[in-house]
Amino acid sequence: MRLGVIDVGSNTVHLLIVDAHAGASPVPYHSQRSVVRLMRYLGPSGEILEEGVQLIIEAVREAVVTANEIGVDDLICTATSAVREATNGEDVLRRIAEAGGIVPDVLSGEDEARITMLAVRRWLGWSAGEILLFDIGGGSFEIAQGSDEYPDVQVSLPLGAGRSTIQYLAEDPPSREAVSVLREHARTEFTRVRDELFAGRPRPKRVVGTSKTIRSLARLVGGPADPVTGDLAPLHYTGLREWEPSLRDMPGSVREYLPGITPERGYQIMAGAVVLRTAMKVFDVSTLTISPWALREGIVLRYIDALDGRGADPVNA
C-alpha cells in the first residue's frame, strides 16, 4: 500500500509518501517540505500569529493536494511542539481541518520520543542494545533510553533549535554572552532530567542522534555521507566543539552555505549546536551514531504494525 504522512513541525510541514506492507521496510516514494519557521510567528501570549497560521494552512493544503495527485491509500497528519504548545492551538487545528480536509493528531513530546525510538531501534536492530536517543526539533528536544522498541524513560524539553534561537540567540550573529546564557540554561535542564529520570539506567551501548538539525551538524563536522550506503559519519563531541566558535561568528545567511546546512536551518543551527553539545557533555557522550529514521518513519512503522495485526495505533503511543 502507499501511505502518506504529513508532519506539521516547528520548522517545516513535511509530506513523506512511502510504499509499505507488513513484514517489509517502508520504501520512500516522495518527499516534500514547506518551510514555515513557526517560532518566528509566536505572539506575546504564546499564540501563533495569523501569518504563521496561513503558512501552515497553505503548506498542509499543498501536501494534501500532492498526496491526492500521487494517490495514497491512507494519509496521516500529525502536529508537534509548535501547535501543541500554542495558546491558540485548538483554533489552528480547526482551521487546518476546514481548509485542508484533514484533522492533525497532536503528539505529546513523550509520544515523539517513543515513536522516534521505535524508528531508531528498527533501523539499528537489536544488536544495538541499550540506546540513549537525542532528537532535536524546532521547538523541543527529546531524550529517551531503553533496550526495547519503546523506551523505558523519555522526556521532552523546550530546547528545540528554533525556540532556543528566538529566546536566547535572536541577535545575528549572537554574542558570546548570549551563547553562554543558553548553554547554562541547557546545562541546568539536562542535569535535572539526568539526575531525576536517567539515574540508575545502564550505560548505553549506543548513543544515537536523529532529526534534521543533528544530521546537518553531522554532515558539517564529519563530512559527506558514505557514497555506497548513504550513512553519515558519527558525530564526535570534539568536532562539534571545534566548529562552535566559527558558527557563532557567522550570521545565519552565511551558515546556510556550509556543507550540510540548508537555508531554512542556517539561522538556527548555532543554537542546535549549543544545546546538542551541552547534552553530550552532561550525559558524558563522546560520539553520536546518526540515524536517518526518525518520527515520520516511526509513524509509518506503527501503521505497518497495525496492518500486521499487532494492534499498534499508528499515531498514539
Q: Hey, do 2-106 and 109-290 end up sharing a CATH topology, with the first three levels equal?
A: yes
- How confident is residue 136, by pLDDT bands cut at 50, 70 and 90? very high
- How confident is residue 317, by pLDDT bands cut at 50, 70 and 90? very low
Q: What is the pLDDT of residues 28-80, one digit of tens each?
A: 999 999 999 999 999 999 999 999 999 999 999 999 999 999 999 999 999 99
Closest CA to 299 of 146, 135, 136, 119: 119
pLDDT at 120 over 70: yes
The predicted structure's pLDDT at residue 239: 97
Instruction: Report percent pLDDT > 90 for the chain.
Output: 91
pLDDT at 250 over 70: yes
C-alpha 304/C-alpha 293 separation (Å) is: 15
Query: Per CATH, the architecture of 109-290 is what?
Result: 2-Layer Sandwich (3.30)
Pull the grid cell for residue 29.
Answer: 516514494
| Other Cβ atoms closer than 10 A to 51 | 10
The predicted structure's pLDDT at residue 63: 98
Residues 248-274, mean pLDDT to the nearest whole number: 95
**2-106 has which CATH code?**
3.30.420.40
The predicted structure's pLDDT at residue 316: 52
Residues 300 and 5 sit within 8 Å (Cβ to Cβ): yes
Pull the grid cell for residue 96.
Answer: 487546518
- How confident is residue 310, by pLDDT bands cut at 50, 70 and 90? low
Residues 207-228, mean pLDDT to the nearest whole number: 95
Pull the grid cell for residue 22.
Answer: 507488513
The predicted structure's pLDDT at residue 219: 97
Residue 77, SS3?
Answer: strand
Residues 277-283, mean pLDDT to the nearest whole number: 98
Residues 77 and 6 sit within 8 Å (Cβ to Cβ): yes
Q: What is the pLDDT of residues 151-178, one digit of tens each?
A: 999 999 999 999 999 999 999 999 999 9
The whole-model pTM stands at 0.94
pLDDT at 263 over 90: no
C-alpha 315/C-alpha 282 separation (Å) is: 31
Q: What are the residues whose beta carbons fall under 8 Å from the beta carbon of 14, sequence distance 6 or more?
A: 6, 7, 31, 32, 33, 34, 296
- How confident is residue 179, by pLDDT bands cut at 50, 70 and 90? very high
Average pLDDT, the chain: 94
| Other Cβ atoms closer than 10 A to 116 | 29
- Provide the residue ranges of all domains of the chain, joining segments of one domain with +: 2-106, 109-290
Residues 89-109, mean pLDDT to the nearest whole number: 95
Alpha-helical segments (H) within 26-108: 50-70, 81-85, 89-100
Residues 107 and 115 sit within 8 Å (Cβ to Cβ): yes
